[in-house]
Amino acid sequence: MKVLVPVKRVVDANVKVRVKSDGTGVDLSNVKMAVNPFCEIAIEEAVRLKEAGVATEVVAVSVGGQACQEQLRTCLALGADRAILVQTDAEPQPLGIAKALKAVQEKEGAQLVIFGKQSIDGDNSQTGQMFAALTGMAQGTFASKVSVADGKVEVTREIDGGLQTVRISLPAVVTTDLRLNEPRYASLPNIMKAKKKPLDVVAPSDLGVDLTPTVKVLSVEPPSERGAGVKVGSVEELVDKLRNEAKVIA
């Protein structure tokens, strides 16, 4: 069974994001970039399936600029067998990415596609579901547990009311939640081996896909500064402030 894992290049989760002075976007100059944390979970789950003998090949794929090769090499060091970069200078958006991944899937014919449930930059949580809709594949989103057997995938989903378990037929799409697993660290020997693993670069035109953005960002603003807290002398004073100043209770 082949497993396809889409991954995204994002600002490292430990970096404090800065907004450009002109408000046109996030300042990425001299900022450390990394594999999206949820995509790391997806790679880990795919590698575990291979180690368990369920999967035979793990393919990492990314849509973006040439710099995405760095994150794909990281995925190769974490255990992926090969990687594919759909290289574009355009700012890829969820629908365009889903269309590019659909074209890759048509060539690869993966039985299981594992996405991170969302990226920590856009927080859209759209690409996996759009991909499933475009390909007509069954989907299990927000997975906290995944098991594959007899041509079926059993997915335990995290929902507002607790947990929901669904069983879907292969080929299928799964999006990973935070509690699915704990990603491993890439060892130095595996980092060195990753340099020799195949990484194919294709253009969107090779796939017959147009990645021109369809949504325009008008402005980006940092969150407002949080005011200092105050101490209250009694419950009555707290209730008064909540009612008359914060106006959060009637």
- The residue range of the domain holding 191 is 2-244
Query: 55 phi and psi, to 5 degrees?
Result: -105, 150
Inside any domain, residue 250: no
Close Cβ partners of 160 (under 8 Å, ≥ 6 residues apart):
none
Is the Cβ–Cβ distance between 129 and 139 less than 8 Å?
Answer: yes
Name residue 243's amino acid.
R
Coil, strand or helix at 65: coil
Number of domains in the chain: 1
Q: What percent of the chain has pLDDT over 90?
A: 79
Domain membership of residue 164 (yes or no) is yes
N-term to C-term CA, the chain: 58
In a domain, 249, yes or no: no
8-51, pLDDT tens digit by residue? 999 999 999 889 888 888 888 889 999 999 999 999 999 999 99
Residue at 79 is within a domain: yes
- Check pLDDT > 80 for residue 78: yes
In a domain, 17, yes or no: yes
Asked if residue 190 belongs to a domain, the reply is yes
- Write the pLDDT tens digit of every residue in 238-248: 999 899 988 88
* Contacting residues for 137 by C-beta, under 8 A, at least 6 apart: 113, 131, 171, 172, 173
CATH number, domain with residue 45: 3.40.50.620
Rg, the chain, Cα only: 21
Report how far apart, in Å, the C-alpha atoms of 244 and of each of 235, 236, 237, 239, 241 are: 14, 12, 10, 8, 5
Q: Return all residues near 24 (Cβ < 8 A) that are at least 6 apart.
A: 217, 219, 220
